[in-house]
Structure 1
């Protein structure tokens, strides 16, 4: 009798890139970076929330052809840390809960619907598309009875999972954190920080001048 041997199936290679550009234009790129950065900032103190942008998701072990690379996504219950890709089967089978896509000229309605079906099939709780070009607007879906159901009115809509609010009005779209502060670009965040620092410096200088004047009058400002 000839002994038989069982061969292990060949290892599956999961590429970290799909070869597609992150964005088609500067406006789309700015929105992707703004969404990813502000969401990451929102959950900076949560070690169990992973936020990524332009990152491949592989939902099925053994099949590297089933994949999508959303512009931004948020996965709860998963640790922070760098990953080449997000393999759901290596992440305790947790599919990202919230997914964002930012519309670009190369997109088509058919392609976006294909993505929506993918996210619906594999478990996303919420799916949003931001259309940044004027007149800007947004679309959203939430999971109900196993399907992603369209949000009828995005103006004022609050994400059930993230608690962020969308404002879609007069040809513009904006996103606000749970505390009401707006999502800001990196440049705007830097300008706000600079303004805050300048204000603090002004207050310190004012306090120092007041303390000096009190000393001139024979009053110890530290004792007041």
Structure 2
């Protein structure tokens, strides 16, 4: 019996059927990571995605190796819409940095499987965080051939060699900081700050416009007075100041 070749969509579906997040805390963390990483790398050639299936190798039959990191960074690849990340169509560049935000259903075996996958397929930095327990760890290496260095809370604060972002644990949980020291914020905070800054700019412009209007009104009054004096036969320029 001749087996019908599977289509590309059959082999490499754009969804694994799993939800992006299992709770609001996990979802908020994923969105925070993706939005801040995109902001951080806005001037770079870099692709940032959340919960996107990554296929490292082309295959002809299942099983198809893949993972969907909660957030991933691919330096050297342009921004743009993708249904999935097929590495062989992306100059064979793997994600260099991945993040996993744990949910209550995640198991140690599942995380170990993800870690092995990321190591085998070229990830240079991988970070794992459980918001419920504040457990944080990571694995870092300089090249794909190098052994991984384990990062634990004992190493914090820790700065990512590639992204230069800093991880730090506080009593209320993990915080991540930009290279300039600013904290990663929720997108709503970023929008609120932009709106506040725009409101301040609008207010300043309104005050400048008001001041200019008052200057124009004063000049108009002077011009009318000058005209009135001239009508009376008085030279305004000859008047004492």
5+ residue gaps, structure 1: 1-6, 219-224
Total equivalences in the alignment = 211
2:183 & 2:29 partners in 1: Cα distance? 13
How far has the Cα of 1:60 moved from its partner?
Answer: 1.9
Superposition pairs for residues 13-92 of structure 1, below 5 Å?
A: 13-46=11-44, 48-62=45-59, 63-92=62-91
Normalized per residue, the structure richer in helix is 2
Q: TM-score, normalised by structure 2?
A: 0.78
CA contact (8 A) 1:154 1:167 kept: no
C-alpha distance after superposition, 1:123-180 (max 9, x if no partner): 10000012223x5353221015523221143532111111111121214111111222
Q: Which has the larger radius of gyration?
A: 2
Q: Give the equivalent residue in structure 1 for 2:167.
A: 166
CA contact (8 A) 1:57 1:86 kept: yes
C-alpha change, 1:54 and 1:210, in structure 2 (3 Å) is: same
2:87 & 2:4 partners in 1: Cα distance? 20
Pairwise CA RMSD? 2.4
2:192 & 2:22 partners in 1: Cα distance? 27
Q: TM-score, normalised by structure 1?
A: 0.84
SS in 1 for 2:163: coil
Superposition pairs for residues 191-206 of structure 1, below 5 Å?
A: 191-206=192-207
CA contact (8 A) 1:139 1:154 kept: no
